[in-house]
Amino acid sequence: MDEKEACKRLTVCMGDITRLEVDAVVNAANNTLLGGGGVDGAIHKAAGPELMDLTRRLGGCPTGEARVTPGFRLPARWIIHTVGPVWRGGGQGEAGLLRRTYRNSFKLALDKGVRTIAFPAISTGVYGYPKEAAARIAVASALEVAEAFERIVFCTYSERDESVYRRVLEEFCG
């Protein structure tokens, strides 16, 4: 697939990821998989307590890896929980780890036959990853696999973040 076709499958939206009607939403979780604040808290709240009953049994998730659960009360059929790196200045392998969160999430999505998937801006909230650099990794990773998906959504939660993604998409896709 040429880059132009791949680009057409990438979209940016702004709003609550828990409301999206996609096959899978990705959660920016922590190593315990036991919930937290930010998008993780919102996903647990919207999915309902059955989610925690299940994630408790998963035994956590190393940074860069991903785990999949049902979406329970979400419109999405699946939740892919991944753990992004905490930003420590950029010299601690953060970029590689963030790339792995996207690649491993896509891999699990493909295993489940997912065609439409939405990502929050992993690591860019509490974990402090610079937004533009993170968006470049998100978009580059999505372009690598876009052929296998119908739609890859970057779900932002502020106008500022939305414009960061739009700018980065413009950079990659023109």
What CA–CA distance (Å, rounded) separates 122 from 83?
Answer: 8
Q: Which is nearer to ligand AR6, 102 or 157 (CB)?
A: 157
Residues 84 and 122 sit within 8 Å (Cβ to Cβ): yes
Interface with ligand AR6 (CB under 6 A): 16-18, 28-30, 36-40, 42, 84, 120-127, 155, 157, 161
Taking the complex as a whole, how short is the minimal distance between the CB of residue 143 and ligand AR6, in angstroms?
Answer: 21
Q: Quote the least distance from Cβ 47 to ligand AR6, whole Å.
A: 12
Q: Cβ closer to ligand AR6: 6 or 44?
A: 44
Query: Could you tell me if 80 and 68 are in contact, meaning their C-beta atoms sit under 8 angstroms apart?
Result: yes
Q: CA 51 → CA 65, 86, 112, 129, distances in Å?
A: 18, 24, 18, 27
Q: Tell me how far, at minimum, the Cβ of 159 lies from ligand AR6, in Å.
A: 11
Which residues are annotated as catalytic? Answer: 40
Pick the closer one to ligand AR6 by CB: 6 or 47: 47
Query: What φ, ψ does residue 26 adopt, rounded to 5°?
Result: -100, 140
Count of CB atoms within 10 A of residue 99's CB? 16
